[in-house]
Structure 1
Amino acid sequence: MSKDLGFGKTKLDLSGFEPQPKAADDEPLASADAVAEKAGFVSREPVERLARVRKPAEPYDTAYIRAPVSVINRLKAYCNESGLSYGQALEEMMRKAGI
């Protein structure tokens, strides 16, 4: 078994090798993004997450309410229709009641 791995003792003749000149007048290469889009690739770059801007407010606390399902359903329906959170809805109802 030979141990020269195909390299042998002779040198490789590269005298006829010349790189081809870059064609400057040919149509410009499309950007990598355009080629990827045309091929249907989807970017895997991470999407920038925006930080939530919170209004300065007073501290929060939790109030647990036990009430009949019909009352809780009415509260949830009111919040869904008005777009208010439970806390905002409670504040609105207390304001209307004068409390």
Structure 2
Amino acid sequence: MTSKPSFGFGKLAEIQPAAPEPAAPVAREIDRVADKLGFPSREVPTRRKRRITVDEPTDQLNLRAAIADINRFVEWCETERMSYREGFGRLVAKIGQ
């Protein structure tokens, strides 16, 4: 026994891979072309989320509001460098004025 049995895999090195398939269009490119042609997006607008977390205990307030209003509130809080609690407190303080 000078050679090992190949079990049918002796010509494996001769196999060449097929040409790669062309890449599928990227979603961003599709969205760009659709926007250019005037097709409105049916995707829900992205809601901004706060990046900074706090370690203190918090409570939750749920409300239905327009995404544009929520995004504006979040941006205002970040610009003023305050928490949502502080921003909400400022808005509530203006109610009696």
Q: TM-score, normalised to structure 1's length? A: 0.37
